[in-house]
Structure 1
Amino acid sequence: MQVLFKVIRQEQNSPPQVQTYTLDVDPGNTILDCLNRIKWEQDGSLAFRKNCRNTICGSCGMRINGRSALACKENVGSELQRLQQIAASATTSDTVRNTSDIIPEITIAPMGNMPVIKDLVVDMHSFWDHLEAVEPYVSTGARQVPEREFLQTPQEREKLNQTGNCILCGACYSECNAREVNPDFVGPHALAKAYRMVTDSRDFETESRLEKYNQGTQGVWGCTRCFMCNTVCPMDVAPMDQIGKIKQEILDRKDAQDSRQVRHRKVLIDLVKEGGWIDERRFGLQVVGNSFRDIKGLISLGPLGLRMLVRGKFPLGFEPSEGALVVRSLIESVQSLESQPTSDQY
């Protein structure tokens, strides 16, 4: 079948342009196969990265029809089927379109959150620099074990499996909304590796690591929980889940007075536990104003409060949800389970 490939091409520091290529392909051909054919048969100047062709090296990361993926993993058939499902969900029952005469299109673009060097090749310096910032290697003290190997139990090693699957392809970093607005945020790839160090029984720097990952919005509190990193990860590392685990480690060690980020999470849980949902009147005062301890925080709430009053969005009363008792019992049950020691703690 014929497929039209729209490739977003760009030279460094120049505007992007769309160049189209038509190929006769089989549904089982990977996107990387098609790019190779374009380069070998039609346009030798097209630039993209590749290496293993087997979803191992992570080199061929790029945006395929709007979402970051590995060109060696995605094939033409599944990609066109995905596009058809998207189109079908967006089409109303009253709209009938005859697509039998239309050549299907696949759009390929460079990854996001990184400057383009040429065509589909991006500059990944920030990606690697932010990975280095979390020190993703076992601490020096842990490596100085004399005259024997540093043994781990199967249970201890199993904790490293999911994060150990990361191939550093950059897909999560490319789609990270937090990175798009906050260049200081280290990114989901770095924090997934960070959790690997936090949970590694051979590492001696857990406490100092958690303090570092707790700072401002550079670390875990910069994550906006948009789920995009989990959605695009080709290896099911689930970076956002790992970030959540680091947050929980921090919350277990901190109280509400340590930082606004910690207070935000603890106050949210307390208010939901109390009323079944959040009492907005108390939430801002307790989190930003720190229960009237933070005068600057209270003053900063003034303009927002006035706008809410003018637009009728400030709740004058608070009605607990009908299921408040159920919500409270669920939260207490989870907290009780979390407080119990696990088998590997004995």
Structure 2
Amino acid sequence: MVDVTFKVLRQSGGDTPTWQSYRLSVQSSTTILDSLNRIKWEQDGTLAFRKNCRNTICGSCSMRINGRSALACKENVGQELNRFSDQAAPEITIEPLGNLPVIRDLVVDMKPFWKNLKAVDPYISTAARAVPEREFLQTPEARQKLDQTGNCIMCGACYSECNSVAVNPDFVGPHALAKAYRMVADNRDDATVSRLSQYNSDAGVWGCTRCNQCNQVCPMEVAPLDQISRIKQGILAREDESSSRAIRHRKQLVALVKQGGWIDERKFGFNVVADRLRDVSGLASLVPLGLRMLRKGKLPLAFEPSDGTTEVRSLIDAVQAFEAKSMQSTDSDS
């Protein structure tokens, strides 16, 4: 048994949050959820938190434990104390999920979370389901492509830690885009082209900053960032550079690195922001920056290719060939 102080961030609605400490004698194997249950049953019946299955299935007990989002029924005291083994006295902090309004204590309002999920239309299209003669059967290989994203339990951990959600209120979030990829990869769906067009925006995949926080905290190894990257691959394979600045940014970055081993910054800004003189407002926005760089001697007047350009080019070719093969496989299953 070990004596542990549980510091819980408590608040009600818009009130100022305050920390409240509870002392428990627990075993190392005791889960955080069982510890919260004991606090509520033995010390403070007013403490509010969500729970249900207690078996990492429902996602109800997601909260921030020692600064990261996790399932309280999955994490135990020993694991948490080992993360901070240098503590003078054993202590575990518990807070509500981030990026969501707090209703009370550890209970958050999930409406924005569900609203953003609904925005990506995470359902097989009705037209694709209209097969009156027989049910729509999938091969084991086609079904296997849905396994990883199908493991999502909608716990909200990825949404809580998402830096893009924190700064861009229009971004739908990693949970929604992981579900969106499930529709893109599902060969029963016939709306792939329109879906990719829908997700091709700053509210969609281009709003992701690739911080990898969602992958780090996902308790079910759904890897939302990986699914977002796969949607991007589908968009890039179908869209040309004129469709958006985000598309140009990605394609020009790869093209210039492939060309010279690293980015020629002069061409990058001109090709992406100014769209090679086709975007007049973009070109105008570059002028003040260019003048400041010239004045400070930071505008490169020449470009020296990297000594490893040949190796870099071969690596990019190999990755692009692999991505093209993966896309062909997805298209053939659709």
Measured against the shorter chain, the TM-score band is: over 0.9
What is the Cα-based RMSD across aligned positions, in Å? 1.5
Distance (Å, rounded) in 1 between the aligned partners of 2:187 and 2:20: 51
- After alignment, is 306-315 or 16-25 more displaced? 306-315
Partner of 1:345: 332
Q: 1:342: Cα distance to partner?
A: 4.0
Partner of 2:226: 241
Q: Deviations over 1:159-193 (max 9, x none)?
A: 00000000000000000000000000000000000
Whichever residue aligns with residue 145 of structure 2, its letter is: K
Whichever residue aligns with residue 180 of structure 2, its letter is: A
Distance (Å, rounded) in 2 between the aligned partners of 1:243 and 1:319: 34
Q: 1:158: Cα distance to partner?
A: 0.3
Equivalent of 2:267, from 272, 282, 287? 282
User: Percent identical across equivalent pairs?
Assistant: 67
Partner of 2:185: 199
**Secondary structure of the residue that 2:149 maps to in structure 1?**
helix
Q: 1:119: Cα distance to partner?
A: 0.3
**Secondary structure of the residue that 2:243 maps to in structure 1?**
coil
Distance (Å, rounded) in 2 between the aligned partners of 1:177 and 1:344: 32
- TM-score by structure 2 length? 0.96
Partner of 1:71: 72
Partner of 2:173: 187
Distance (Å, rounded) in 2 between the aligned partners of 1:222 and 1:338: 22
Q: Does 1:270 align with 2:271?
A: no
**Secondary structure of the residue that 2:137 maps to in structure 1?**
coil
Distance (Å, rounded) in 2 between the aligned partners of 1:123 and 1:337: 42
**Secondary structure of the residue that 1:257 maps to in structure 2?**
helix
Q: Does 1:55 align with 2:56?
A: yes
- TM-score by structure 1 length? 0.92
Q: 1:320: Cα distance to partner?
A: 1.4
Alignment CA distance shift 1:41-1:221 (3 Å): same
Pairs within 5 Å for 1:1-346 = 1-84=2-85, 102-214=88-200, 216-340=201-325, 341-342=328-329, 345=332
User: Which residues of structure 1 form unaligned runs of 5+?
Assistant: 88-98
Distance (Å, rounded) in 1 between the aligned partners of 2:226 and 2:289: 32
**Secondary structure of the residue that 2:84 maps to in structure 1?**
helix
Q: Deviations over 1:249-285 (max 9, x none)?
A: 0000011111111111100000000111111111111
Q: 1:344: Cα distance to partner?
A: 8.5
**Secondary structure of the residue that 2:241 maps to in structure 1?**
coil
Whichever residue aligns with residue 7 of structure 2, its letter is: K
